[in-house]
């Protein structure tokens, strides 16, 4: 059983080869090769993903019959929404927008939102609502690959984009701790609940789908802000 679990975890981790850190847009971002307009476009479009994460997690909660999982999972919603005004990941992303020269209204009213980004994010929320809750949890396991990406992104922004106010990078700093914590628990849930070969295959497919979502988001942004 142990070897089967190890093989399952290895199959999940192998999806890192499809993670969006390898997208050409992301590579250019971390190399300092994006213009101010492209950075602002990425920030504005990515906000649609950020503001929908609590809705995705609420969908998982609504489908999950396990009280212990719900007690742990709800922390994700609080991390993004905060428990009071001025807190949480969504607020931190709005501050990133301001640091990049955008107003809160520009970020929140979706005036720059590319149709492909909307489609991909909405597909992800729909997936969480309509698929078995364990598969939706498995789709969140892109966070296994996020800490290294977040550290590289933070370093790149500080080095190559000095026009962005450093106080606006707080979201990235917070995720350095939150992402590993969230990924560790999600992996525990998935390995505990996916025992059969079929269940494990569906979990890997769910994670593959999430990689497609993130890649499609960058495809849409890259096309919208091509220079």
Domain ranges of the chain: 2-224
At residue 3 the predicted structure's pLDDT band, cuts being 50, 70 and 90, is confident
CA-to-CA separations, 156 to 31, 56, 170, 190, 194, in angstroms, rounded? 7, 29, 14, 33, 38
pTM of the model: 0.95
pLDDT digits (tens, 9 = 90+) for 127-186: 999 999 999 999 999 999 988 888 999 999 999 999 999 999 999 999 989 989 999 999
User: What are the tokens at 54?
Assistant: 């609590």
- Rounded Cα distance between 179 and 156, Å, is 19
CATH number corresponding to 2-224? 1.20.910.10
Q: CB–CB of 209/139 below 8 Å? A: yes
- Rounded Cα distance between 102 and 178, Å, is 26
Residue 1, pLDDT score: 54
At residue 87 the predicted structure's pLDDT band, cuts being 50, 70 and 90, is very high
CA-to-CA separations, 135 to 49, 106, 123, 159, 186, in angstroms, rounded? 19, 34, 14, 38, 11
Residue 146, pLDDT score: 85
């Amino acid at each position: 059983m142990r070897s089967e679990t190890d093989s399952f975890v290895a199959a999940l981790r192998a999806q890192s080869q499809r993670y969006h850190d390898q997208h050409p847009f992301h590579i250019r971002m971390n190399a300092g090769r994006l213009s101010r307009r492209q950075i602002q476009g990425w920030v504005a479009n990515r906000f649609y993903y950020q503001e929908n994460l609590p809705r995705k997690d609420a969908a998982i909660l609504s489908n999950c019959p396990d009280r212990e999982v719900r007690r742990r999972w709800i922390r994700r919603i609080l991390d993004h929404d905060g428990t009071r005004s001025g807190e949480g990941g969504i607020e931190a992303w709005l501050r990133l927008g301001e640091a990049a020269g955008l107003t809160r209204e520009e970020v929140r009213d979706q005036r720059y939102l590319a149709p492909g980004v909307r489609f991909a994010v909405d597909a992800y929320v729909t997936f969480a609502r309509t698929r078995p809750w364990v598969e939706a949890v498995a789709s969140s396991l892109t966070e296994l690959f996020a800490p290294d990406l977040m550290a590289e992104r933070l370093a790149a922004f500080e080095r190559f984009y000095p026009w962005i106010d450093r106080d606006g990078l707080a979201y990235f700093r917070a995720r350095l701790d939150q992402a590993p914590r969230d990924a560790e628990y999600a992996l525990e849930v998935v390995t505990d609940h996916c025992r059969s070969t079929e269940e494990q295959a569906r979990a890997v497919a769910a994670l593959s789908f999430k990689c497609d979502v993130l890649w499609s988001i960058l495809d849409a942004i890259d096309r919208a802000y091509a220079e």
